[in-house]
């Protein structure tokens, strides 16, 4: 029985850009659904990873790559980075045909730019695809649109209710946004998907990216330590010290080589600091915040389970922040959404500054429970006050995203938004 396709928010973007440009490239981690989604928009497919045809395809790419582009358009070229020459072939084809919506490329690793002659600017548009959000997996009811809040900060959200309990959120974080897991009927099977994903990263994917045999144990140790520092400002030097103190010696070059590979595989990401002119530059923390492309990877790296996390809500608070970052990044992607954070040496902070490409931004805190809302609200209001004093562009809204049940607007204007209501 064929699995039903679950519509993704990126579907509309794909349709939009296929009408605007000759080719699009969908990048993102393995198993996030790139190929399946791309298939919904293509009329012919070239799968370079087909074990029966890979050798022939790669040989043809060396001899005459244009032959691999023949087929009804849009033509999907899956995992194109296996034959980097296809990038220039696609670009040349777009140049010659002067048409839109010719090709869709997908890739699970970033490519060494030296292997391609042209950037693709103006010919190939990149789209980053992430694992599924709670809304895409039909767990969030999506009654509150983040983009609508940007358009109308006075949007009435009173009493909108989330159907997700803390237990539900913990399970969703452990399972992750992997489409394959949603097709499995048992909890054991669903949780196994990310475990298998982690094994693949450690045992083969890092080696393929680096081009040299990596040590699976060292990759796993690095991911475990990275996961222990999820949603924190821990420096790489600190993580390396932690690794060498508790496990085994990993050289600095090896560590950074593996970290680079994990970034190229879209497994981990850095959240940059927001540095507005409201404090002395020396007062603002500038370290990158550590996040995973999906919280389930951190959970798997730490060998945690839904049962263990329900007993350790402090740890889950950091996992929850990663979950929120993942979803917000997707909900605002079509509007150029990007995230940063603010933290200074006086203790003033905002977990997330959510920016749109038009310059609008929002100050956001992530709090699992209601007991932390008051403190978070004071932080947000103080930060807004400093912004006012500097006559800077004002945030469109202030919000606290929670694991709670009800949405509402506080008397001070701060929006309380359950993650289970967002889209």
Per-residue pLDDT of the chain (423 residues; tens, 9 = 90+): 567 899 999 999 999 999 999 999 999 999 999 999 999 999 999 999 888 999 999 999 999 999 999 999 999 999 998 999 999 999 999 999 999 999 999 988 776 555 555 556 679 999 999 999 999 999 999 999 999 999 999 999 999 999 999 999 999 999 999 999 998 999 999 999 999 999 999 999 999 888 889 999 999 999 999 999 999 999 999 999 989 887 778 999 999 999 999 999 999 999 999 988 777 776 787 889 999 999 999 999 999 999 999 999 999 999 999 999 999 999 999 999 999 999 988 888 999 999 999 999 999 999 998 889 999 999 999 999 999 888 889 999 999 999 999 999 999 999 999 999 999
Closest CA to 239 of 288, 190, 192, 202: 288
Domain chopping of the chain, boundaries: 10-128, 146-421
Contacts of 362 (CB under 8 A, 6+ apart): 149, 150, 353, 354, 395, 396, 397, 398, 399
Compute the CA torsion angle 119, 125, 130, 136 (nearest 10 deg): -170
Structural tokens at position 258: 């593996």
Question: For residue 381, which phi and psi values (nearest 5 degrees)?
Answer: -65, -35
pTM for the model stands at 0.93
Q: How far apart are CA 68 and CA 70, in angstroms?
A: 6
pLDDT computed for residue 284 by the predictor: 80
What pLDDT, on a 0 to 100 scale, did the predictor assign at position 390? Answer: 85
Pick the CATH number of 10-128 from 2.40.50.140, 3.40.630.30, 3.40.50.300, 3.30.110.40: 3.40.50.300
pLDDT for residue 113? 52
| Beta sheet of 23-27, edge-to-edge order | 44-47, 75-78, 103-107, 23-27, 124-128
pLDDT at 346: 85
Predicted local confidence at residue 277, as pLDDT = 75
Q: Is 83 exposed, middle or buried (0-12, 13-18, 19+ CB in 10 A)?
A: buried
Helices and strands in the chain: count of H runs, count of E runs: 16, 13
Contact between 299 and 174 under an 8 Å Cβ cutoff? The reply is: yes
* Buried b / exposed e along 65-75 (16+ C-beta atoms within 10 A): beebbeeebbb
DSSP assignments along 59-119, one per residue? HHHHH-GGGGG-SSSSEEEETGGGSTHHHHHHHHHHHHH--SS-EEEEESS---GGG-S--
**Alpha-carbon separation of residue 406 from 135, 157, 331, 363, 403 (angstroms):** 17, 9, 20, 20, 9
């Amino acid at each position: 029985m064929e699995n039903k396709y679950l519509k993704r928010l990126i579907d509309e973007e794909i349709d939009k850009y296929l009408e605007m440009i000759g080719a699009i490239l969908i990048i993102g981690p393995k198993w996030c659904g790139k190929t399946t989604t791309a298939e919904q928009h293509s009329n012919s497919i070239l799968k370079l990873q087909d074990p029966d045809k890979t050798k022939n395809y790669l040989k043809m790419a060396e001899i005459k790559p244009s032959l691999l582009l023949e087929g009804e358009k849009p033509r999907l070229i899956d995992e194109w980075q296996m034959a980097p020459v296809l990038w220039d072939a696609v670009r040349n084809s777009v140049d010659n045909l002067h048409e839109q919506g010719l090709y869709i490329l997908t890739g699970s690793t970033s490519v060494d730019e030296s292997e391609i002659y042209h950037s693709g600017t103006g010919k190939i548009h990149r789209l980053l695809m992430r694992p599924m959000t709670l809304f895409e997996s039909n767990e969030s009811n999506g009654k509150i649109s983040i983009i609508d809040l940007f358009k109308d900060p006075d949007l009435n959200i009173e009493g909108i209710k989330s159907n997700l309990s803390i237990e539900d959120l913990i399970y969703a974080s452990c399972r992750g946004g992997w489409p394959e897991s949603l097709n499995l009927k048992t909890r054991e099977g669903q949780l196994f998907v990310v475990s298998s994903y982690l094994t693949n990263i450690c045992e083969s994917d890092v080696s393929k990216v680096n081009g040299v045999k990596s040590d699976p144990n060292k990759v796993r140790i690095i991911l475990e330590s990275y996961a222990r520092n999820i949603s924190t400002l821990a420096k790489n030097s600190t993580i390396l010290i932690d690794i060498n103190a508790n496990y085994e010696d990993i050289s600095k070059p090896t560590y950074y080589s593996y970290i680079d590979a994990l970034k190229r595989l879209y497994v981990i990401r850095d959240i940059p600091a927001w540095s507005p002119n409201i404090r002395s530059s020396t007062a603002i923390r500038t370290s990158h915040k550590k996040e995973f492309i999906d919280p389930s990877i951190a959970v798997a790296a730490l060998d945690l389970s839904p049962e263990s996390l329900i007993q350790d809500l402090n740890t889950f608070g950091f996992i929850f922040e990663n979950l929120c970052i993942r979803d917000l990044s997707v909900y605002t992607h079509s509007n150029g959404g990007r995230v940063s954070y603010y933290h200074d040496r006086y203790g003033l902070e905002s977990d997330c500054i959510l920016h749109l490409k038009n310059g609008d931004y929002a100050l956001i805190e992530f709090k699992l429970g209601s007991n932390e809302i008051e403190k978070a609200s004071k932080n947000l209001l103080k930060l807004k006050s400093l912004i006012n004093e500097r006559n800077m562009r004002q945030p469109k809204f202030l919000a606290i995203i929670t694991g709670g049940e009800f949405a509402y607007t506080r008397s001070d204007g701060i929006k309380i938004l359950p993650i289970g209501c967002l889209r």
